Amino acid sequence: MKKAPQSQPSLDMLLRSFRLPTCLRSWREVAAKAEKQGWSFEQFLQHLCELEADERRRRKVQRLLKESDLPPTKTLGSLNLERFPPAVRRQLPVLCEGGFVERGDNVLAFGLPGRGKTHLICAIGHELVRRGRSVYFTPTFRLVQRLLAAKRDLVFEKELRKLDRFDAVILDDIGYVQQSRDEMEVLFTFLAERYERRSVMITSNLVFSEWDKIFKDPMTTAAAIDRVIHHSVVLELSGKSKRAEDALTNSTVQAQEGQS
């Protein structure tokens, strides 16, 4: 007695099993378009694969952006470039391309409060994510507290490995970590672990000559600076405080409204 021939799986079933959801969703529409316009089979397949690839890139960027914790409003589009020195404006397009991440270089933004350091670094971070790079933004004090908790719970190495999967970690306001030797030690270890392998992007109100306020010990301070500045791009932000300018503008507008 002959066995009944097994039915072949449908194209929908195959695409689903291959985890090609965009192809599954689009192939009928693309096939109809291909037939109407006389595409070759290769053109049909090329177009279908491009749709799948584009959708995967879009989902990847969405995932990376969610994981990054980047402030959503601090993007390149909302950045007032005229506020920055010409040298910074010239470097910005190159930094947004992300070549420094491939080399494991660092980016350091120095300036007094209100000069736009955080916005500038976050804007670069957003551009890196758009290009498929993994970025993580955190105030430095919060990262230090996270590492201290991991050290206390005997999972410090595991926590460092979690952070190591990010191509670039943004440490915002490193100058505000000035509390204890334990904080200094975990921060130094984090920087040393990423040295020449993974990028850090740092904003600081303190110039290097004042980093002894962070790392306490002169030798540790020198070692930390050496690791951070080696293979780095330094952005020096001058000019007036944006927050002060905004406050002055708001006060002027309110005064004019009160007179009208």
Residue 1 lies in a domain: no
Residue 8 lies in a domain: no
Mean pLDDT (the chain) is 87
What's the gap between Cα 143 and its chain centre? 15
Q: What share of the chain is helix, strand, coil (3-state, %, to 5)?
A: 60, 10, 30
Residue 27 lies in a domain: no
Which range, 37-41, 130-134, 181-185, 229-233, is most confident? Answer: 130-134
Residue 46 lies in a domain: no
Pairwise pLDDT comparison (146 vs 221), residue with the higher score: 146
Residue 62 lies in a domain: no
Residue 236: which CATH number? 3.40.50.300
* CB 194 within 8 Å of CB 68: no
Percent of the chain with pLDDT over 90: 59
* CB 127 within 8 Å of CB 76: yes
Total domains present in the chain: 1
Q: If you average pLDDT over residues 4-28, what whole number do you get?
A: 81
What is the domain extent for residue 225? 69-244
Q: If you average pLDDT over residues 155-164, what whole number do you get?
A: 96
Cα separation, 185 vs 65, whole angstroms: 30
Residue 73 lies in a domain: yes
pTM (2 decimals)? 0.81
The three-point CA angle 89-232-102 to 5° equals 90
